[in-house]
Amino acid sequence: MAMNKNTVLAWATILMIIMGVALILMGAYRYHEVAGWGFATVGIGFFAIAWVFNALKGRV
């Protein structure tokens, strides 16, 4: 299976979304102190990066 640039960006977007959801869930359910806010914030940052990767598909 040949992976071109768009395929790599698609996989990166999917992995970033999965990691973002995992970090937000860890922040919400695992850590009940201030560390939970940090995990959730990093998860939202992962969503932002995934959005950029998705916007780059077809343009690179």
Residue 4: its pLDDT value, please?
Answer: 87
Alpha carbon 11 to chain centroid, angstroms:
11
Interval 19-32: pLDDT, tens: 999 999 999 888 88
Which pLDDT band holds residue 3 (cuts at 50, 70, 90)? confident
Orientation of helix 34-56 relative to helix 5-25, angle to 10°: 160
